[in-house]
């Protein structure tokens, strides 16, 4: 175990919103920092009600939260950074990692990495004018490994609070193994603190990573932490998640979403999205898992969930 390792929760759009964060902090405390799913600045300068609700301090009490911004507009970034500063935040995170086609086609997220002169000018402006510190979450390129050797010197020009590296290309999406040799370049060459993100699903994965990169003291956990909500607790010597704990988390999340989502369809979509991470914990669920996938009514959903929780959970 490595109890001294600092652990962050990655921003997963539609998954790690404030209800998830509140419950996770309450039931599985120990996450050092949560990153909010990205906000995309628009022509008007105010946050939407949904965006404001997600980052409002009243909805994030007791946790350290870093809002994330997705944009290729320096003006939009700075407007949003100022709005976050007004809410009391001292740091924001720039998203240069999202591989989604709709994001990349607009030159944002990982797509911005292909426009290096524009990216450098953008960074120049936001770092010279931002009222808060800025961390960066990035991939190592768009299509070719050689891009990383060009991107690292650009990042080194700026006082990045933390460079969070997911060592995949945009073209990789989430497939294949992370390109750890490129992450090693970041560790050896970055002038800014480096955080690792990518394919850390179990305590064993984290231990093996720490053995290979003992100088890296912070990791960001995404899909692995959503699947196993107790991952950080286990890393620090605590017990694995029980079926009862997951059931409590599920029921409270369901009730929370019920309170503000409109209609059965929206609630079903949200909860099915969560089960996309959890269903592999119940290999014997069989018919109940099939019913969960196909159900279109909440009554069938509840029947499926009861059936799933009556089978053995295997972490």
- Per-residue model confidence as pLDDT tens digits over 32-74: 999 999 999 986 667 888 999 999 999 999 999 999 999 999 9
pLDDT digits (tens, 9 = 90+) for 212-259: 999 999 999 999 999 999 999 999 999 999 999 999 999 999 999 999
Q: Within its chain, how far is the Cα of 19 from the centroid?
A: 14
Is residue 117 scored above 90 in pLDDT?
yes
Is residue 4 scored above 90 in pLDDT?
no
pLDDT at 2: 62
Instruction: Give dist(CA 141, CA 26) in Å, integer.
Output: 37
Instruction: Give dist(CA 83, CA 7) in Å, integer.
Output: 26
Instruction: Give dist(CA 288, CA 61) in Å, integer.
Output: 36
3-state secondary structure the chain: CCCCCEEEECCCCCCCCHHHHHHHHHHCCCCCEEECCCECCCCCCCCCHHHHHHHCHHHCCCCCEECEECCCCHHHHHHHHHHHHHCCCCEEEEEECCCCHHHHCCCCHHHHHHCHHHHHHHHHHHHHHCCCEEEEEECCCCCCCCHHHHHHHHHHCCCCCCEEECCCCHHHCCCCCCCHHHHHHHHHHCCCCEEEECCCCCHHHHHHHHHHCCCCCEEEECHHHHHCCCHHHHHCCCCCCCHHHHHHHHHHHHHHHHHHCCCHHHHHHHHHHHHHHHHHHCCCCCHHHHHHHHCCCHHHHHHHHHHHHCCCCCC
Average pLDDT, the chain: 96
Residues above pLDDT 70, as percent of the chain? 98
Phi, psi of 106 (to 5 degrees): -95, 5
Higher pLDDT, 2 or 70: 70
pLDDT at 46: 75
Q: What is the mean pLDDT of residues 290-302?
A: 97
Higher pLDDT, 184 or 1: 184
pLDDT at 1: 53
Instruction: Give dist(CA 72, CA 59) in Å, integer.
Output: 28
Is residue 20 scored above 70 in pLDDT?
yes
pLDDT at 42: 83
Instruction: Give dist(CA 305, CA 243) in Å, integer.
Output: 12
Beta carbons of 238 and 244 less than 8 angstroms apart: no
Is residue 108 scored above 80 in pLDDT?
yes
């Amino acid at each position: 175990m490595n109890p001294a390792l600092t652990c962050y929760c990655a921003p997963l759009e539609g998954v790690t919103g404030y209800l998830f964060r509140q419950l996770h902090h309450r039931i599985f405390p120990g996450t050092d920092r949560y990153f909010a799913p990205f906000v995309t600045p628009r022509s008007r300068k105010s946050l939407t009600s949904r965006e404001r609700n997600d980052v409002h301090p009243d909805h994030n009490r007791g946790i350290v939260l870093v809002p994330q911004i997705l944009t290729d507009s320096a003006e939009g970034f700075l407007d949003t950074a100022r709005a976050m500063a007004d809410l009391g935040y001292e740091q924001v995170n720039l998203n240069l990692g999202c591989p989604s086609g709709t994001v990349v086609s607009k030159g944002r997220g990982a797509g911005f990495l292909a426009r290096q002169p524009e990216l450098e000018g953008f960074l120049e402006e936001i770092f010279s004018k931002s009222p808060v510190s800025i961390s960066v979450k990035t991939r190592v390129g768009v299509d070719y490994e050689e891009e990383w050797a060009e991107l690292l010197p650009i990042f080194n020009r700026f006082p990045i609070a933390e460079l969070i590296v997911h060592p995949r290309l945009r073209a990789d999406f989430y497939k294949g193994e992370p390109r750890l040799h490129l992450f090693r370049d970041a560790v050896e060459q970055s002038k800014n603190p480096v955080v690792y993100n990518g394919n850390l699903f179990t305590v064993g994965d984290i231990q093996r990573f720490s053995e290979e990169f003992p100088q890296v003291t912070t990791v960001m956990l995404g899909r692995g932490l959503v699947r196993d909500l107790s991952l950080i607790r286990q890393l620090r010597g605590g017990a694995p998640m029980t079926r009862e704990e997951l059931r409590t988390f599920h029921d409270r999340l369901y009730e929370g979403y019920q309170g503000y989502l409109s209609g059965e369809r929206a609630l079903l979509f949200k909860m099915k999205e969560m089960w996309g991470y959890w269903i592999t914990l119940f290999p014997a669920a069989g018919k109940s898992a099939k019913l969960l996938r196909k159900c279109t009514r909440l009554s069938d959903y509840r029947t499926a969930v009861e059936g799933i929780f009556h089978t053995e959970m295997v972490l």
